[in-house]
Structure 1
Amino acid sequence: MHLNRIFRRKAYIAGIISILFLAASCIQFKTATLYNGMEVEPEPPKVADISMAVEPVIFADDATDVWGLETNECQSASVSKDVVFSGAEALEITWNRDANGCDFAGIGIGWDSYAGKDLSQIMDYVAIQMQVRTQGGRMFGLPIVLTLEDYSGGMGFAYTGNKYFERSAIDEEWQKVVVPLSAFDIEIENLDPSNIKQLQLELQQSGSIYLDDIRLVFYEPEPQVPWMEEEVLPNPIAFPIQVFGDHFINNNGWGIVSNECQSVKITDQAHAEGTLAISAKWNSTAADCNPASFGASWNKWFPVDVSSIREKAAFQFHLKPVSGLTDLTNISVGFEDYDRAKTLIPLKDAFLMDSGSAEGWKLVTVPFSALPKTVDFTRIKHLVFQLYGDGEIFIDSIQLVNIQ
């Protein structure tokens, strides 16, 4: 009986093995791969010379492809043969976006005879470099928006911030301003970088400069230290904030220019605190002159939402008229938002009090709540001083303060 059970077990196992071999004979094996996705195309090699991809010279000695060289209510732009960085010609530009009837100030350059230009392969390692200087005095900002436009009307934008300067301010000595192509925002207006028509320079606020030798150059950003984190900005409504002491906060002031209509500069001739103040002398009633203006961003040009503090915050600064004939109602202060709308209020006696100085300084406090509701208070760009008529003053210690 025991031998029969062993025999039946062996027969059962042999049967199972036979079935497995028969089943295996019906199975087809295929070669397996790790993945079946699309292979990533390799990045195109970096060109040895920019001219292998595109014409690198945007402007140098030939204004044939430059438009906007004209004088109107917004600007005076022309070719200069007297002041140049190199060669025989530069561009001389004076502008004031606050002039009555001024909707746009700027120039454009359709370099390479307006041929379509493919920048798509060089966006990561090429920059626009230009030589810049003032016509007189110093500018602590360069309020120009560089705009690349393609042949379908798409646009990309980059602001010429101070971080692109060779020095901390634009002065009467030539210096390089280098804006990388990678800094251009190409998503908002759907720029096609493979079919570029022209470079536009949209002029903001006011200024007087010379431009020369505008070209594409190789650019390598400064190496990032791995453990460095993105800069965390201070709370822009944690007042008090000093916007101007002996200098503008973060060097983000603008409008410090001198021309035949105005002279706005930083000086040691008089000061309420520290060692320096802002000197402003202007005459907007003269022929071809417009109201002068200057101001500053206190949040490194990031928008500021002041809507929650309008009832409890104010501008505060020291002011000294150079002569008793200056009408203080010619001086307005306020904000501009990122839609270019402004809210301004003229100075009046209720805003002024004696600072206690024997030198004639007044302490001015202007509540935000006094400003007309003509801007988006959630997207403030910068504070603005606008100067009408004529006058001469010193301004010092500009602050944003709490008054409650």
Structure 2
Amino acid sequence: MFCYLGCDSMQEVSLYEVDLTPTPEQLVSSYPYRHVYLDSCNSNLFGHRSHPCKRVEFVKDNSVEGEDHLSIAWQQGDSCRYLGVGFPWANYVGKNLKNLEQIAALQFHVRLDSGSVSKIPMFFSLVDYGGRQATSKINLLNVEGQRLDEEWRTVRIPLATFRASEKGLNLENVKELRIEFQREGHVHLDAIQIVPFHHEGKFLEPIGEDVCENLPLVMNARNLWWGLNGSETMGWAEGEGFLALHYDKTGPQRDWNSCGVALNQWEALDMSEVYSASALTFQLHGQFSPLNFSILSSTGAPRQIRQRLSLDHCIQFEEGIWSCAIPIKQFDQHEQFNWSATREVRLTVTEDIDAAMHELQWSEYRGNPNKVHRWLEHHKQ
């Protein structure tokens, strides 16, 4: 028996299906212009000359990468409204970051010359060759350890947060990176580069295992905070147990009006069992002013619920001393809020105030949410 096999019936069959599409990490890591600033010998920098309000130095000691790093001290005043430096990296070549916008971040190392803060008045801008720019800033959730202090901390600013299309920035022809400094400060910067970035970062994912079973939750200086600037506008008074609030809505610090406290080290905290019979409580010493409170969740919608402090929430038991309670059931959309992933309490000041907040707590509240004064009278100490 003979069997004939025609040539046109033969097909090439690959033993293995090979996907040659590069991963996002490979795309970013192979980008030829990913290094923005390494050191003074290998990188371009402008705005580093001596200035009455700004001092830029190249420091060799204690650098993360390269031969040296940047030390930048500044103090804004009427004679120097704009303070900044710029990095026209890759020798002024036009950089195409369009394909990296959703998969990469601007990464750098930063430390303070002294002390610790939760917010640095620095703003980062990408500028194209048409003169258009888009700006972003440091988010504490993308800071290593969620702290800014005298230790080197890795910081990432996702390229997507610059919102290039909204600002009209041409991401296909980026000229330079600029950093603007406001108010005053002293930081050290090193190793600025573009790195892979996953937007669902570990800091934002609820771990789902920490459950609040008992109240009160005390919110004091031992918690992680952002937005504090010592005692200038809002900050914990050194050696004291109160949060100082000094805000002038027409003053030079008027933009510094918000702060927030992590309830569980920036991880999710399940408040499902306790929220319905609870309130934010505190004492306000000094001038009364309406304050805006927000509670934030890691997941779900809405992510943030709000309530504004009013005299309906407070009783003045002594001259200049107010006892206050804001029932959680008064917060808008509290029934739709995902209480299993509660993460943060936030405070925003919009009116002039000179006061001190004592004993800020998330407390048990079993009174009528619309009759706060009666509850405060009953719990007067």
Relative to the length of structure 1, the TM-score reads 0.51
Structure 2 CA distance for partners of 1:174 and 1:107, relative to 1, 3 Å: same
**What's the counterpart of residue 138 of structure 1?**
116
* AA at the equivalent of 1:270: E
Structure 2 CA distance for partners of 1:184 and 1:397, relative to 1, 3 Å: same
Pairing 1:78–2:57 present: yes
Matches of 2:351 and 2:52 in 1, distance apart?
A: 21
**What's the counterpart of residue 227 of structure 2?**
253
Q: How does 1:246-395 map to 2 (within 5 A)?
A: 246-247=220-221, 251-256=225-230, 266=236, 269-271=239-241, 273=242, 295-298=256-259, 317=285
**What's the counterpart of residue 94 of structure 1?**
73
* AA at the equivalent of 2:258: S
Conserved 8 A contact 1:138-1:265: no
Pairing 1:61–2:39 present: yes
Cα-to-partner distance string for 1:158-205 (whole Å, 9 max, x where unaligned)? 121212211222011111111111111213431111111001112233
RMSD over equivalenced CA pairs, Å:
4.8
Identity of matched residues, %: 22
* AA at the equivalent of 2:114: G
Q: Max radius of gyration: which structure? A: 1
* AA at the equivalent of 1:106: G
Matches of 1:169 and 1:383 in 2, distance apart?
A: 26
Shift of 1:296: 4.0
Matches of 1:77 and 1:384 in 2, distance apart?
A: 36
SS at match of 1:167: helix
**What's the counterpart of residue 87 of structure 2?**
109
SS at match of 2:98: coil
Structure 2 CA distance for partners of 1:251 and 1:47, relative to 1, 3 Å: closer
Cα-to-partner distance string for 1:220-272 (whole Å, 9 max, x where unaligned)? 12279xx99xxxxxxxxxxxxxxx97349982324349xxxx9x98565234x
Conserved 8 A contact 2:101-2:160: yes
SS at match of 1:107: strand
SS at match of 1:183: helix
Structure 2 CA distance for partners of 1:86 and 1:268, relative to 1, 3 Å: same
Shift of 1:299: 7.7
Shift of 1:45: 6.7
Cα-to-partner distance string for 1:111-143 (whole Å, 9 max, x where unaligned)? 111111111111111111110111000011122
Q: How does 1:30-41 map to 2 (within 5 A)?
A: none
SS at match of 2:141: helix
**What's the counterpart of residue 121 of structure 1?**
99
Conserved 8 A contact 1:53-1:119: no
**What's the counterpart of residue 172 of structure 1?**
150
Matches of 2:260 and 2:236 in 1, distance apart?
A: 21
Shift of 1:144: 1.8
**What's the counterpart of residue 24 of structure 1?**
none
Shift of 1:73: 4.3
Conserved 8 A contact 2:29-2:196: no
Matches of 1:149 and 1:199 in 2, distance apart?
A: 6
Task: Choose from 184, 206, 215 the match for 2:162.
Answer: 184
Task: Choose from 354, 357, 362 the match for 1:397.
Answer: 357
Shift of 1:51: 5.3
**What's the counterpart of residue 201 of structure 1?**
179
Gaps of 5+ in 2: 1-20, 207-217, 247-251, 262-283, 292-315, 323-347, 360-381
Matches of 1:78 and 1:384 in 2, distance apart?
A: 39
SS at match of 2:160: helix
Which range is displaced more, 207-216 or 54-63? 54-63
SS at match of 2:145: coil
